[in-house]
Amino acid sequence: MDDKQLVRECLSGNEEAQWLLYKQFAGPMLGVCYRYTKSFKDAEDVLQDGFVKVFNSLSGYKYEGELGAWIRRIMVNTALNFLKKNKRYQDELVFTDNYLHPITNQDPAVLMEAKQIAGLIRQLPAGYQTIFNLHAIEGYSHVEIGEMLGITDSTSRSQYARARGLLISWIEKHSEDKKMKYVRK
């Protein structure tokens, strides 16, 4: 069944189609949710809230673009709302220069597995992690990010640059640690 037919069946109340839509998109969308939260449990909560919104908004899907992209946008917005509402994340969602780390322009020449890089991204403070994910992974512009988070686009740019700089320094440190490991052998 193609996406258009799947949506029509879901809107008609077909529970099997609704389960199929959930089953088809839950895995990838859980990954999206997990990129914005600090725990798997929180990611699952965001996913469930996101799918409630998906099913409640399905009549608004205009069949323009991919269904998965439409669902992803709902999940990202649900994750951002979760971060804003959840007290545990609010302290880390600060976008001021007091919390900034120095940045470097050097690009490390090191190969890392995607899993390792994703792990480093997850270690960023929530504000950095959110902006990095929105820009580098989701592809939102800094203007769009500013509108989503209620900050200026220049704040988004500087937070992104600092997140990138922090990641680079961690990757460089990882590279140095790896070199030292081989020297000791």
> Which residue, 68, 87, 106, sits at the end of a domain?
87
Block means of pLDDT (10 residues each) for the chain, 185 residues, are 93 96 95 89 95 96 92 95 79 49 39 73 88 91 92 92 90 69 48
CA distance 1 to 16: 12
Picking from 64, 87, 110, the residue at the C-terminal end of a domain is: 87
What local confidence, expressed as pLDDT, does residue 26 receive?
95
Residue 85: burial class (beta carbons within 10 Å; 0-12, 13-18, 19+): exposed
Question: Structural domain tally of the chain?
Answer: 2
Specify the pLDDT at position 96. 47
Number of other residues whose CB lies within 10 A of the CB of residue 100: 18
pLDDT of 117 reads 81
Query: 0.75 exceeded by the pTM?
Result: no
C-beta atoms surrounding 49 within 10 Å: 17
Residue 127 and residue 155 share a domain:
yes
Number of Cα atoms under 13 Å in the Cβ half of residue 127: 23
One domain for residues 21 and 50: yes
**Domain assignment of residue 116, yes or no:** yes
Q: Are residues 142 and 67 in the same domain?
A: no
Q: What's the CATH code of the domain at 116? A: 1.10.10.10
Residue 38 inside a domain? The answer is yes
pLDDT at 173: 81
Q: Residue 146 half-sphere exposure, CB side, CA atoms within 13 Å?
A: 11
Q: Which residue has the tokens 């990095």?
A: 132
Sign (positive or negative) of CA dihedral 162, 124, 122, 165: positive
